[in-house]
Amino acid sequence: MSAIFDQTIINNMALSNRLVRSATWEAMCDDDGRPTGRLTDFYRDLAHGGVGLIVTGYTFVSPEGRQLHGKMGIHTDEFEQDYRKLTGAVHDAGGKIALQLVHAGGQTDTKNAGRQPLAPSAVEVDQFPEVPAELTRDEINRIAAAFGDAARRAKEWGFDAVQLHGGHGYLITQFLSPLTNRRTDEYGGTIENRSRFAIEVYNSVRSATGSDFPVMIKLNGADNLEGGLQIDDAVYAAGKLSEAGVDAIEVTGGTPVSGARGPVRKKIDAPEKEAYNMDLARRIKEAVTCPVMVVGGLRSIGVAEAAVNEDGVDYIAMSRPFIREPGLANRWQEGNLAAATCISCNGCFVAGLKEGGIYCVVEKEEQEKR
């Protein structure tokens, strides 16, 4: 049996295989961030499809940290019953689900945040839609506490784990990056200082959830931007998070303005184009003791097996393939080892922007022709 289908454990969370559905904005929530029945059905299908762990779409911990429409929120106790239905549906289908926690920081705008966005520094950079306000120390403390409150809700409402979003240019990454962090206090300058916010968020979450609840992070290995976060600094941050007790690190890279080296690349149509964050993942794996996940263009089970058996990563994370094929994990385990049918066109996200919910537009077109 392939190592991909090993049974593993992350801090008391038993997983049936090494396949992870990487976090994906689904655009299936109400305007205030309340999850809908449609989203619950979406996750139920993923659980039935056999993926070892589902990571939800990015979920804002505080209203000013909201970015896109239809995005989940876990900033209020009012959504408890909706979330309990969601996690119950996943568990009834035999799945495990982690809630991804995020604050968009300067990567949102006044319309979505309801105020001038907040960021480490009030800088004008391509990845910010508008110039944000610089966070005060009190605001930094409040946001770190909001991550903790969100994680507490997630644990109480049935999630199996949480994952902090420390990638793709959102607030944790904004602190790590010298391009967006120009502070001269204890949060800026050296990588030790720029890592401080990430550690404080982790500590807030760990304090709220206890030692026996999995707390993971998705972390940029590099921003792939001139002046942005580079791999050596990311290795330092990853090492400090591992020392602090983080239970797993999902390695990613890029920001929305990283061009061809962004987080979600197109035309992944050959094995040699897959696993485009593997070099970053190898470096981070060498620096940490916790399990490491890699995301980025994985489509073939052979490439996935090599990542585990040869490169030493612990989990394979994918997003778009599971949009087209929720049952991909079951298909591979049953012996149909053809590569994922996703063509990496990103049409699924266009559907989310224009139609209020992601889906594979290619699959829909093919079904309509049958």
Indicate if the pLDDT at residue 368 is higher than 90. no
Q: Which pLDDT score is estimated for 1? A: 59
CB 266 within 8 A of CB 343: no
| Residue-level pLDDT at 217 | 98
CB 52 within 8 Å of CB 17: yes
79 pLDDT above the threshold of 70: yes
Provide the pLDDT for residue 46.
Answer: 98
Confidence of residue 276 (pLDDT cuts 50, 70, 90): very high
User: In the 3-class helix/strand/coil scheme, how is 88-149 assigned residue by residue?
Assistant: HHHHHCCCCEEEEEECCHHHCCHHHHCCCCEECCCCCCCCCCCCCEECCHHHHHHHHHHHHH
- Condensed to tens digits (0 to 9), the pLDDT of residues 97-137 reads 999 999 999 999 999 999 999 999 999 999 999 999 999 99
Catalytic residues: 170
Our CA dihedral for 141, 146, 147, 153, rounded to 10 degrees, sits at 150
The CATH architecture assigned to 3-369 reads Alpha-Beta Barrel (3.20)
Q: What is the pLDDT of residue 245?
A: 98
Question: If you average pLDDT over residues 142-159, what whole number do you get?
Answer: 98
Q: What pLDDT is attached to residue 366?
A: 87
Alpha-carbon distance values, 304 to 61, 92, 292, 309, 340 (Å): 33, 28, 13, 9, 12
Domain boundaries, the chain: 3-369
Render pLDDT for 204-248 as a digit per residue (tens, 0 to 9). 999 999 999 999 999 999 999 999 999 999 999 999 999 999 999
What does the mean pLDDT of the chain come to? 97
Q: Is the pTM of this model over 0.85?
A: yes
| Higher-scoring residue by pLDDT: 2, 164 | 164
H-type alpha helices, the chain: 37-48, 80-92, 110-113, 137-156, 171-176, 191-194, 196-209, 231-244, 278-287, 301-309, 320-324, 328-333, 347-355, 361-369
pLDDT, tens digit (0-9, with 9 covering 90-100), for 12-52: 999 999 999 999 999 999 999 999 999 999 999 999 999 99
